Structure 1
Amino acid sequence: MIRRLFTALGPKHDRALRRLLAWFTVAAVLQGVAFVMLVPALRELLGDRPEHAWPWVITLAVLWLAYAAVSYPATLAGYGTGADMSRDLHHRIGDKVAQLPLAWFTPDRVGGLGRLASQRVVDIMGVPAHLLHQLVDTFVTPATVVLAMFLFDWRLALSMTVAGVAVALVYRVAGRGMAAADQEADRIHADAAVRIVEFARAQPVLRAFGRTAQGHAALDDSLVAQHAAGRRMLRASMPGLVWIAFIAQAAFLLFLALGTHLALGGSLGAAEFIALLVLSARFVEPIMLTSELGGAIRVAENALTEINELIDTPTLPGPETSRRPDGTDIELDDVRFGYHGSTVLDGLSMRVPQGRMTALVGPSGAGKTTVIRLIARFFDPDAGAVRVGGVDVREMKTEDLTSVISAVFQDVYLFDGTILENVRIGRPDATDEEVYAAARTARVDQITDRLPGGWDAPVGEGGSRLSGGERQRISIARALLKDTPIVLFDEATAALDAENEHALQEAMAALARDRTVLVIAHRLHTLREADHIVVLGDGQVVEEGVHDDLIARDGQYARFWRERRRAQGWHLAKPAVVR
């Protein structure tokens, strides 16, 4: 466990952890030696000349004072180190998560990540705070007692050694089964956490279809599995706990019987026998604590394993020296990419000219959003290349790529803060006037005018207090504030009311001005305004050109255009009454 702890925390904490281990080890040795001093002290006190015990009593008092002097600051240092580790672990997890490719964030991993950043970090925080001290005491103090006992009677010392080896073997064998059960329980607990959140978020749908009484089958199954995992954990842990307790008690009885036999036989003095009984009790006590510590140790070990697995997860490789793009044109060259073995893009080649608006058109599942995510380097293609300004995005550092690209997606996430704070995320060092100017251009001022608090109005978790169109306006304001030469826009106006759609179209026009823009187009207005149109189908480009030329070809784009035109005239009619 200690080796995993060093790995999880990184070299920054090596020195502090080694110093803490040294403090705890010195304290445990001092405690063990103090117990050993009881033997000569009691031998003199119960002998013919008790006054000769004073040197041993003074030595014992000095050792206990030294133990207190070492143990107290070591305990304080343990809690301080635990707090520092907790903060740094959160930073390490956050830094790692920011580097992971988007494909890593599956629903089960997101639930596990929440548990890792909360409960698991707390589990590890407890290691230097108290678990490490107990762990060192459990092993070092008994080892000191056993080694010292060889100075007084090798037979009693040997019996203690055999008992210690037996406990270690039982703990190791039982620990393997318990570790496997604990890991399985962790996986099931993480799945249950995901299902609970899913159930809460799905309440509108469940209630709309009258499913509140029946509940949510996936949640029910996960809770049943969680209960079963807890029972398996209990079954896996009980044999080890029972055997360790049995061996500890049996070792003490054996030691008592052997010591009594030696004392009655005359080879061991009564005073020494009483003192050695005290040592044997001090030997058995930590062994009994081993069973209690075992659960905490396994929890900490599993937490360390999970954090180390996250830290060791491969990230998108980056170059040592970043290349700067020459211009802002975008090119995808024979790109192949898929999700979980399913091909989405199959040899896609296309170009987005510099300083122009390119519209991306295609049926659902054609890979339009995937193209945008590849350009922003949320993933790397399985084959082919994505270039910005003639430079492969894999040859650019992340900060250099993001400095020239802004992305506005359909699913806008707003942080639980004010409107002004959420706009400022686009460029944190911007002045208030710059933030206000970008927000007004995106028509965010229309939102602040109607909300109590204006610019300081809270948006709620995820932007829950705002409509979808209003969240989109804030997202566009972020992109305007960032002021990059390339904008990737996943247009999401199809389901908006007329007021929000008009405001978003004006914001889009402001965003596209004098920039290289790639927009996933759903609206006819956007297609008319586009300088270049690319039509996707079956993971490839099936058509490209300007609007009039594509209509004249009467191909897939023309069919798409006619369907959208007909859809504009759709309306709900009152059904005829059949008499």
Structure 2
Amino acid sequence: MIRMLLRVLGREYAQPLRRTVSLMALTSVVEGLSYALVVPVLRELFGDTPEDAWPWLTAFGVTIAVYAALRYVSDLSGFHVGTALLRGMYHRLGDHLARLPIGWYSGSRLGEVSVLASRGVLDAMSVVAHLLAPLISASVTPLTIVAVMLAYSWQLGLAALVGVPIVAAIQLWTARSSVAEDAEREERDHEATGRVIEFLQAQPVLRAGGRTTERFRLLDDALRDVERASRRSTFKALPGAVGLTLTVQALFTAVLVLGVHLALDGDIGVAEVLTVLVLAARCADPLLSLTDIGGKQRGARSVLARLDTVLRTEPLPEAAEPVLPERHDLEFDSVVFRHGDRTVIDNASLSVPQGQRLAVVGPSGAGKSTLLQLLARFYDVDAGAVRLGGVDVRDIDPQALMAQISIVFQNVYLFDGTIEENVRLGRPDATDAEVRAAAGAARLDEVIARLPDGWAANVGEGGALLSGGERQRVSIARALLKNAPVVLLDEVTSALDPVNEVAVHEGIERLMAGRTVVMVAHRMRTVQRADRVVFLDGGHVVEEGTHDELLSRGGRYANFWNISMAPVARD
């Protein structure tokens, strides 16, 4: 497990971790050796001059004091190293997740990463602070006690030593036999967590359908699966736990019988027999705790294995010598992009001169939003090139690339914090005047004025305390504050009410002014403001031209326009 910890965390943590392990091992050895002093203490107490036991009692007390000091220092070291590892793990995981392609974040992975980044990391990194010391103590202290027993009576020591491989074999067998059940239980736990979230999110639909008193079958099935998996896991570990207990008790009984036999034959004294029995009893206690420790260790190893899998996922490659573009024109050059077995963009070529606006329209699933994601390098193309200012986006430093681009999506996510904090994400070092100016341009100031807490109003997780239009205004204000030369818009008004739509349109117009813009349009009215229009279908550029040119051709775009505007004409 130590090797896996170091592989997950990195070699920079090797020295403090090994130092802590060595300190814990030394503490366990001193604990075991302290029991060796019980023999002379009992020998003198049962002898003719009990007062001679005082020097040995003093030595025993000093040894216990040394053990207590070592235990304090080793536990404190474990907490310090555990805290450092936790902090380092969060930083490493966060940095790595930020570099992974957006396509990696599928629905199932979001739940897994959420669990890993919260409870998972905490459980795995608490190994050093809470699990390592008991594990080392349960292993090293009994071995030290056996060595002490060998020193006083080789027969009794050898009898105790026989149990070492038996206990190790039981632990190994239990661990191997429980792997499949533990993995299944974790999988069922994750599935049940997802179903609970789904059940909570589905409350409006369930209540609207009058199903508030019904049981949610998917959730019930998931919880039953958790119950069955937990039962199987418990039953699988039960033989190992019972076997370990019976083995330890049998060994203690064997040592007891052998000690009595040796004492009756006069081979050892009564004091030695009593001491060996005390040592054997003390040896049994940590051995019996191995079952519980082993279960926790397997859980920690499982989390570490999942963290290792995530951290081994290759991020998008970065250029050895990044280039910073000097212009802000955009180009797709024979781009091919596949998602799984499906070709989303197929040999698409188009360009956007600096300062102009390109509208991308087409049916659902045509690949419109994917074009924006390729521009922002959320994915890498499978063939061809995407260029900003004549430079392949793969040759631009990722942070420099994102500094050139402002993105406003239809579905806005806000972080749990104040409105001002969410706006400042666009440019954290902006002055108050710049933040207020961006808010005014996005007409966010109207929202702030009617909120009791104003700029300090909390938006809730994901922006849940704001309406869709209000969240969109925050997003536009954030993009305005960033003031990037390239703007990517994934139709931001398709789900807004008329009042918010007007306000958002005004903010978008200010955002697009003087910038290179690519907008995905679902509402065809927004297309008329573009310099050029591209009609995309099946990942192919079917038509390209100005709005009027495409209408005059009477092709796919004209047909799409007529269909989309027909309801308006009837009104």
Query: What's the TM-score once normalised by structure 1's chain length?
Result: 0.94
Q: Please give the secondary structure, in 1, of the residue aligned with 2:223.
A: helix
1:539 corresponds in structure 2 to 539
User: C-alpha separation between the residues in 1 aligned to 2:511 and 2:130?
Assistant: 56
User: C-alpha separation between the residues in 2 aligned to 1:388 and 1:485?
Assistant: 11
1:19 Cα shift?
2.2
User: C-alpha separation between the residues in 1 aligned to 2:549 and 2:35?
Assistant: 95
1:570 Cα shift?
4.6
Contact 1:362 1:368 in 2 (8 A): yes
User: C-alpha separation between the residues in 1 aligned to 2:466 and 2:127?
Assistant: 44
1:330 Cα shift?
1.5
1:53 Cα shift?
4.2
Q: Which is worse superposed, 1-10 or 139-148?
A: 1-10
Verify: 1:353 aligned to 2:331, yes or no.
no
1:60 Cα shift?
2.0
User: C-alpha separation between the residues in 2 aligned to 1:133 and 1:305?
Assistant: 21
Q: Please give the secondary structure, in 2, of the residue aligned with 1:316.
A: coil
1:112 corresponds in structure 2 to 112
Verify: 1:257 aligned to 2:260, yes or no.
no
2:519 corresponds in structure 1 to 519
Listed as ranges, the matches of 1:235-254 within 5 Å are 235-254=235-254
Contact 1:34 1:60 in 2 (8 A): yes
Contact 1:375 1:386 in 2 (8 A): yes
Q: Please give the secondary structure, in 1, of the residue aligned with 2:259.
A: helix
2:214 corresponds in structure 1 to 214
Deviations 1:360-408 (A, max 9, x none): 0110000001111111111112222221112221112211110101111
Deviations 1:333-370 (A, max 9, x none): 22222333222112222222221000001100000011
Listed as ranges, the matches of 1:105-144 within 5 Å are 105-144=105-144
Deviations 1:45-75 (A, max 9, x none): 3345555544433332221111112112222
Unaligned runs of 5+ in 1: 572-579
Q: How many residues align?
A: 571
Read off the aligned partner of 2:379 and give its amino acid letter: F
Read off the aligned partner of 2:406 and give its amino acid letter: S
2:19 corresponds in structure 1 to 19
User: C-alpha separation between the residues in 2 aligned to 1:470 and 1:239?
Assistant: 60
Listed as ranges, the matches of 1:381-420 within 5 Å are 381-420=381-420
Read off the aligned partner of 2:487 and give its amino acid letter: V
User: C-alpha separation between the residues in 2 aligned to 1:302 and 1:437?
Assistant: 51
1:486 Cα shift?
0.5
User: C-alpha separation between the residues in 2 aligned to 1:368 and 1:295?
Assistant: 50
1:487 Cα shift?
0.5
CA RMSD in angstroms, aligned pairs only: 1.8
Q: Which is worse superposed, 242-251 or 31-40?
A: 31-40
Q: Percent identity between the aligned chains?
A: 46
Deviations 1:122-142 (A, max 9, x none): 323432223211111111111
2:324 corresponds in structure 1 to 324
1:568 corresponds in structure 2 to 568
1:169 Cα shift?
0.4
Read off the aligned partner of 1:467 and give its amino acid letter: S
1:243 Cα shift?
0.5
Q: Which is worse superposed, 244-253 or 145-154?
A: 145-154
User: C-alpha separation between the residues in 1 aligned to 2:364 and 2:88?
Assistant: 43
Read off the aligned partner of 1:514 and give its amino acid letter: G
User: C-alpha separation between the residues in 1 aligned to 2:515 and 2:527?
Assistant: 17
Q: Please give the secondary structure, in 2, of the residue aligned with 1:522.
A: coil
1:459 Cα shift?
2.1
Deviations 1:317-341 (A, max 9, x none): 1123211113111122222223332
User: C-alpha separation between the residues in 2 aligned to 1:423 and 1:69?
Assistant: 52
2:302 corresponds in structure 1 to 302
User: C-alpha separation between the residues in 1 aligned to 2:173 and 2:60?
Assistant: 38
Read off the aligned partner of 1:537 and give its amino acid letter: D
User: C-alpha separation between the residues in 1 aligned to 2:533 and 2:568?
Assistant: 21
User: C-alpha separation between the residues in 2 aligned to 1:412 and 1:547?
Assistant: 28
Contact 1:345 1:367 in 2 (8 A): yes
1:430 Cα shift?
0.3
1:4 Cα shift?
1.9
2:176 corresponds in structure 1 to 176
Q: Please give the secondary structure, in 2, of the residue aligned with 1:337.
A: strand
Q: Which is worse superposed, 45-54 or 462-471?
A: 45-54
Q: Please give the secondary structure, in 1, of the residue aligned with 2:289.
A: helix
2:432 corresponds in structure 1 to 432
1:497 corresponds in structure 2 to 497
Query: What's the TM-score once normalised by structure 2's chain length?
Result: 0.96
Structure 2 CA distance for partners of 1:56 and 1:175, relative to 1, 3 Å:
same
User: C-alpha separation between the residues in 1 aligned to 2:570 and 2:104?
Assistant: 41
Q: Please give the secondary structure, in 1, of the residue aligned with 2:562.
A: helix
